[in-house]
Amino acid sequence: MAFRKPPDGGWGWVIVVVSFFTQFLCYGSPLAVGVLYLEWLDAFGEGKGKTAWVGSLANGIGLLASPVCSICVSSFGARPVAIFSGFMVAGGLMMSSFAPNIYFLYVSYGIVVGLGCGLLYTATVTITCQYFDKRRGLALGLISTGSSVGLFIYAALQRELIELYGLDGCLLIVGALSLNILACGSLMRPLESSSSPPPEKMFVDKVPDQYFVYHEKEKTVEENISILEKGYIDEKSVNNVPDCKQDSILNKNTLSSINVNEKDTYKKKVVEQTNFCKQLAKRKWQLYLTYWKETMVLFKNKVFSALFVAILLFDIGGFPPSLLMEDVARSANISEDDYYMPLISIIGIMTTVGKLILGILADFKWVNTLYLYVTTLLMTGVALFAIPFAKSYLTLAMLSGILGFLTGNWSIFPYVTTKTVGIEKLTHAYGILMFFAGLGNSLGPPIVGWFYDWTQEYNTAFYFSGFCVLLGGFLLLLAALPCWNACTNQSSKLPPNTYSYKVASN
């Protein structure tokens, strides 16, 4: 279906507003799950590594299932998927209030809520891209801040609700708030399609392809029918018994001719449908082969290979602070009276600032976006190494702000991907990288929690996290540094199907 030209305004701004609130409502609790993490530790008495799986699944399962989410939005549209996903998120949060053990939370909060968030993210991005072309970057930037604002508000909100109504009441109220996603989803009016052809024309347009498939196998069809007819005639000659009456012979000949015609038509249809299915299977198989060939070509690019390792290690080491920072403060014996603001709220608000500032820097021509991204990775690794030395609320708040700001490098990650593989392969490459990012989100917090269960302190865990992020940053820098200047100098000699970064970024 061909959509009409994006209006770059009008109802598109309504789409931006409802998409912002959709991400605010669905990602607020999963990103601020660190507040709930402390309550689950006390309620179920499980290890930190096992309990951390709940929050890591909620944040990683949506990225892991991004191909499935894209298929659902492409098949059913953004509005039906958003409404259905609203029920998933709200239902998962409400079911979590009745969780008898940690394993129930893996399903209700980790999988159901996480998958609902993944579907909503894909739906909001898809419908926004349909409504905007020239202002698409601005629109996507505005809706992406919804999750960060949600993290900032939900961290304080969930803490207050737990004090007033307990953990179960908090989850019920947050789940009820998520039902507002249904109202936001109902406003995601699909963009009207361009002048659609009349039914007669559509039918005529479909005939040549179908005829081509059958015409290509015409000889095979005739051969198969002749074989079937031969078997049928032989069977008829064996079972043929002469009759005495001429009328009965004529009647039998008439009936047999009708049966033969019906059977011939049926056999021809069966053969044609079989050949059509074979052709369809061959075409699908060719598509799969092409997809895997393109994937292998991407991994032959050493910068892309280093980039997927870097994003995997960054999420393994860089995501746990947003989940575990509250428990780090409690392990450091910091009194709750010293809290001026939840540490997770500081991470959330600084992530919003980081997305905006880093996104603005990426638009300057004199800024190399790849080096900027590598710098954020190296600085994140250094900040993670400093967490074990923070013994007061002030130092932990400062480190939380630094980590939140550097986590805003998600806003420049599409720029880096475009610069690495080109604009033609951006969608394919970005889907692969998001899968590994989801894998890192799912593995990071449990690994840090297991380190604590093993050593009974967070120092070793954050040394490991800092090492992972630094390793990813250095690998990406080493892979890009030798060939980057050569690629820039030879940008004028690129083949026709390759785009220089200036063209891609514009």
Domain ranges of the chain: 1-194, 301-488
For residue 392, CA distances in Å to 145, 335, 351, 370 come to: 29, 9, 22, 35
Task: Report the pLDDT averaged over residues 345-367.
Answer: 83
Q: Which residue has the tokens 């074989």?
A: 227
Q: What is the pLDDT of residue 447?
A: 87
Please give, one letter per residue, the 3-state secondary structure of 184-226: HHHCCCCCCECCCCCHHHHHHHHHHHHHHHHHHCHHHHHHHHH
Tokens for 240, please give them: 């043929």
Q: Which residue has the tokens 């049966």?
A: 259
Per-chain mean pLDDT for the chain: 77
Amino acid at 281: A
pLDDT digits (tens, 9 = 90+) for 245-284: 455 555 555 555 555 566 667 666 666 677 767 676 767 6
Nearest to 114 by CA among 225, 227, 26, 21: 26
State the pTM of this model: 0.66
For residue 447, CA distances in Å to 34, 377, 382, 468 come to: 16, 19, 19, 12
pLDDT range class, residue 469, cuts 50, 70, 90: very high
**Taking the CB of residue 300, how many other CB atoms lie within 10 A of it?**
8
Task: Report the pLDDT averaged over residues 84-108.
Answer: 94
d(CA 156, CA 346): 10
What topology is assigned to 1-194 in CATH?
Answer: Growth Hormone; Chain: A; (1.20.1250)
pLDDT digits (tens, 9 = 90+) for 2-17: 556 777 778 888 998 9
Q: What is the pLDDT of residue 95?
A: 95
pLDDT digits (tens, 9 = 90+) for 275-333: 767 676 767 666 667 767 777 777 788 888 888 889 889 989 888 887 788 888 888 77
**Lowest-confidence pick of 75-89, 151-165, 211-225, 388-402:** 211-225
Q: What is the pLDDT of residue 492?
A: 38
Cα dihedral angle (415, 417, 421, 424), rounded to 10 degrees?
-70
Nearest to 192 by CA among 449, 1, 424: 1
pLDDT digits (tens, 9 = 90+) for 415-468: 787 777 776 676 677 777 878 888 888 888 888 888 888 888 888 888 999 999
Q: Which CATH architecture has domain 301-488?
A: Up-down Bundle (1.20)
Max CA pair span of the chain = 113
> Hey, do 1-194 and 301-488 end up sharing a CATH topology, with the first three levels equal?
yes
Q: What is the pLDDT of residue 253?
A: 55
Task: Report the pLDDT averaged over residues 13-29.
Answer: 92
Task: Report the pLDDT averaged over residues 351-361.
Answer: 83
Q: What is the pLDDT of residue 280?
A: 67
